[in-house]
Structure 1
């Protein structure tokens, strides 16, 4: 798909992987709307890109519906959705005293990472299915979701995160098969250890130690490298129904 002049939505687009993706889309000529909870960062990034910002809780059905309608009123039917919104937690199933993880804390991660992804995906698909086909293949749109290598090798302390990202991965193929009827592609990226604002809070030696765990290149992944893969997915019409690892060949240890 040619990005020039098309509407695009990035959830979690105020920082990290989402911000780099929003920048890539804007450079390609897309009209970008950022969905995020961080109003200050979201507005600043949208202004920088000449785009639009909407404060969105991806787990809120009405909020997402109205936000997509607002993006459409501003930029036309969005042809590209990149779901980067998510949270990461480190909590065990039972603590050292044998107390179980409170269900509401598990459910919150699943609600944002998995249910939130489906919420935006489904609302986007509903807007796309009646859109005019474009390009030589009659494509209507591309939806890119974000899983994690934790979907494959979840570590101790990642039951909620691993389960939520595994769900995103499992959603990919049935969504792609169903939406193929309307020429809408669905692809998921599963990043490894990437630099994000969350990582920025770690000491430099801790960041370096994490980077050395990656076979090659032995460093943290860069947000713009995630954006590069998203750009390739958008451009290549044969990429569909797949989860692509982006991890420098790392396979996560149990801890």
Structure 2
């Protein structure tokens, strides 16, 4: 286990068990009160944090909308909230459906199988406990599969570099394997050379005037993840990948 330095406190300095994470979610399910009735957050603050602020370019990875800190989703008419997290060697997941009174947390040691484990667990439990169907992003949900019809997409507009603080993504149209595009993901600036570059092969899922959705994975064992390319009103291009928007820089 690699303890993050104290400087990482604002974005990842909390250590918690799965039970701790569920208790934190319960605070929002119960309108801001602790189990003993102590008010920790005002009802107004809870409502504000669970109110949709922006629509996400990626509708699948965490939620179709984002509130004040929470990813927000709606499954079969039931509204929910959640958040994922990752650090060196660890992946964490949380989903909650307030009207059903349930919260699910999974903490893992990382690895490509973790998203599949969480998806399987969450889909089964939310169906059993809340009567809702968790949407997927895979062959059965329109992503590439044996019977999927892939749209013809010109890769040229998407090729280039995308950069944000600490990270660089390079998109090429010469993938080393199945796909139309390939993403090389590596550290930059203060995170340069802190981890080996990662590669995702991308295949198209849908293409509309407002955005083009690809499904990406590193290998056949990994779960498919959405990678969305889109442009702002001023023409600047972005890629939305892993719940983060990154501007095209070259």
TM-score by length of 1: 0.29
Is the radius of gyration larger for structure 1 or structure 2? 2
Higher-strand-fraction structure: 2
TM-score by length of 2: 0.29
Indicate the structure whose relative CO is greater, using CA pairs within 8 Å and at least 6 residues apart.
Answer: 1
Higher-helix-fraction structure: 1
